[in-house]
């Protein structure tokens, strides 16, 4: 870190009221030397927690429905979305490693107290919008697997936060290991289901090439849904904080460069796993459900379709549907961990609120559970109502995205903030601003499409 960057760091850290996620910040030791693989293993973990947001239950309906309605056409959209996500997460990790500030802290420094409070509200709504999908997915998975009523299932998700509190006492590496294990379970389930569904491989490969058909109204709407559900604003806050969990000489520029390099490897590997899972979801939807897209708008309908021979054909079986529910539950548990951690990051970063760890995480979870619980009670446990709530939540998510992307691209492209060595090269900045503008336009288009369908 050069002299100017060190000056900025100490000033920012003072203004930011301490390091991000202080209980795990600088807590995981990494080797000063060693092989590439040894270092990669030591730095691996934060990327897995970030990748969870790219394969959450909110993505499932979009990807499977996209395959059921349009075959393999939209795989190219998943590929493009994943590449954009890799670029943005690289910037987020680099911001945290070089400045020792998460995105919320850095944004607060440049916006001040009043605007910081407003941005905190928006960030909390984005986290709530993301977590709503996890609460709904978890409750429905419990209902499908054990017959637990939806209202009871929603209440039970509140206690997920206790699991995180317990895991934090075991050490952050344990959390990373559990998340990676759950991701592996999800991937294994859908890989198995795709293999036995026997997709048309040439058509799958052709789907990775963008087609003009995507611009048609129905296909474009679904493509916008995939893009909007893939790039999540809360992941940018989370990654900029988790990238600081590794322990090394932070005043040494070479060690900082090494941390940036391996954090990028970690992020790209884990996001590649998320990309594969999303592709598997769409391929499964196309191979088993093509032509039945209008019938598969809920998790329960997907669960039932997997054991309905009139829809899924000869491969239909209760085993497939049970595995689907298990994967859904695993996804919900993963997202519980990341959602509560992100809530802590934005609360401390934007408004400098310091409250006990358990209280902060319970509050974060309640902010997401309460609207789902009220909706469930009001509509008598009707899953269709929960799906409508999930759609509304995506509107908040779409609005919040540019609020996190714009400062991220600006900060990481600034020589004053990042230093000469670590600021974005010109071509990266151009790509970053291009993605920001493109995703902002697409997300507002998604809002218009969503509202037009509602009204």
Q: How confident is the model at residue 393 (pLDDT cuts 50, 70, 90)?
A: low
Helix residue ranges per DSSP H, 290-317: 299-305, 309-312
pLDDT of 425 reads 93
pLDDT of 410 reads 94
pLDDT tens per residue, range 262-276: 999 999 999 999 899
HSE-CB for 263 with a 13 A CA cutoff:
30
pLDDT of 16 reads 53
CB 43 within 8 A of CB 256: no
Mean pLDDT of the chain: 80
407, pLDDT greater than 60: yes
Q: How confident is the model at residue 1 (pLDDT cuts 50, 70, 90)?
A: very low
Ranges 135-139, 385-389, 392-396, most confident: 135-139
Span 424-443, average pLDDT = 88
pLDDT tens per residue, range 325-355: 888 888 777 766 777 788 888 888 888 776 7
Q: Whole-angstrom Cα distance, residue 346 to residue 352?
A: 9
Orientation of helix 426-454 relative to helix 75-99, angle to 10°: 120
Which residue ranges make up each domain of the chain?
A: 3-26+53-454
Residue with tokens 């040494």, as numbered in its chain: 252
pLDDT tens per residue, range 16-44: 567 777 778 888 888 887 789 999 999 98
Does an H or E element contain 247, and which? Answer: strand 246-247
pLDDT tens per residue, range 122-174: 888 777 777 777 777 788 888 888 888 888 888 887 776 666 667 667 777 88
Q: Whole-angstrom Cα distance, residue 377 to residue 367?
A: 16
Span 210-231, average pLDDT = 72
Orientation of helix 318-351 relative to helix 113-146, angle to 10°: 160
DSSP-assigned letter for residue 100: S
210, pLDDT greater than 70: yes
CA-nearest of 253, 244, 249 to 96 is 244
As to burial, measured by CB atoms within 10 angstroms (0-12 exposed, 13-18 middle, 19+ buried), residue 144 is: buried
Q: Whole-angstrom Cα distance, residue 353 to residue 227?
A: 33
Give the list of residues 6+ apart from residue 378 with CB closer than 8 angstroms, or none: 385
CB 252 within 8 A of CB 28: no
Q: Whole-angstrom Cα distance, residue 453 to residue 221?
A: 11
- Helix, strand, coil: what percent of the chain each, to 5? 80, 0, 20
Q: Whole-angstrom Cα distance, residue 270 to residue 338?
A: 15
Q: Whole-angstrom Cα distance, residue 228 to residue 447?
A: 10
* 1.20.1740.10, 2.40.10.10, 3.50.50.60, 3.40.50.620: CATH of 3-26+53-454: 1.20.1740.10
Q: Whole-angstrom Cα distance, residue 122 to residue 145?
A: 35
pLDDT tens per residue, range 45-56: 898 888 887 877
Q: What percent of the chain has pLDDT over 90?
A: 18
Q: Whole-angstrom Cα distance, residue 138 to residue 335?
A: 10
pLDDT tens per residue, range 64-112: 878 888 888 889 989 988 998 899 999 999 999 999 999 999 998 888 7
């Amino acid at each position: 870190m050069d002299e100017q960057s060190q000056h900025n760091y100490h000033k920012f850290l003072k203004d930011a009221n301490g390091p991000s996620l202080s209980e795990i910040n600088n807590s995981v030791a990494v080797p000063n030397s060693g092989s590439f693989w040894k270092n990669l293993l030591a730095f691996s973990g934060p990327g897995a927690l970030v990748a969870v947001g790219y394969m959450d239950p909110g993505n499932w309906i979009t990807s499977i429905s996209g395959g059921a309605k349009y075959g393999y056409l939209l795989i190219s959209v998943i590929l493009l979305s994943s590449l954009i996500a890799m670029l943005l997460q690289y910037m987020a990790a680099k911001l945290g490693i070089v400045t020792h500030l998460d995105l919320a802290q850095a944004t607060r420094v440049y916006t001040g107290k009043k605007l910081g409070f407003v941005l905190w509200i928006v960030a909390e709504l984005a986290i709530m919008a993301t977590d709503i999908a996890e609460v709904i997915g978890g409750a429905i998975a419990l209902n499908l697997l054990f017959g637990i009523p939806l209202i009871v299932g929603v209440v039970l998700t509140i206690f997920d936060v206790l699991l995180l509190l317990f895991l934090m006492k075991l050490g952050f590496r344990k959390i990373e290991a559990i998340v990676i294990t759950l991701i592996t379970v999800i991937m294994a389930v859908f890989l198995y289901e795709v293999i036995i569904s026997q997709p048309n491989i040439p058509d799958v490969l052709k789907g990775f090439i963008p087609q003009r058909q995507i611009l048609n109204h129905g296909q474009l709407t679904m493509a916008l849904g995939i893009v909007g559900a893939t790039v999540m604003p809360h992941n940018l806050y989370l990654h900029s904080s988790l990238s600081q969990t590794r322990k090394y000489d932070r005043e040494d520029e070479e060690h900082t460069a090494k941390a940036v390099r391996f954090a990028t490897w970690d992020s790209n590997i884990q996001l590649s796993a998320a990309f594969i899972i999303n592709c598997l979801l769409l391929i499964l939807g196309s191979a088993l459900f093509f032509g039945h897209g209008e019938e598969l708008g809920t998790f329960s309908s997907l669960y039932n379709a997997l054991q309905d021979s009139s829809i899924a054909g000869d491969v239909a079986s209760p085993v497939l549907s049970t595995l689907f529910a298990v994967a859904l539950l695993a996804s919900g548990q993963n997202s519980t961990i990341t959602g509560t951690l992100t809530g802590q990051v934005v609360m401390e970063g934007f408004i400098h609120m310091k409250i006990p760890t358990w209280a902060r995480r319970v509050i974060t979870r309640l902010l997401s559970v309460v609207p789902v619980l009220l909706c469930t009670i009001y509509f008598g446990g009707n899953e269709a109502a929960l799906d409508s709530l999930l759609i509304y939540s995506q509107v908040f998510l779409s609005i919040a995205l540019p609020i996190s992307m714009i400062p991220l691209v600006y900060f990481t492209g600034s020589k004053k903030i990042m230093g000469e060595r670590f600021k974005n090269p010109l071509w990266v900045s151009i790509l970053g601003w291009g993605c920001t503008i493109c995703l902002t336009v697409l997300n507002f288009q998604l809002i218009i499409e969503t509202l037009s369908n509602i009204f």
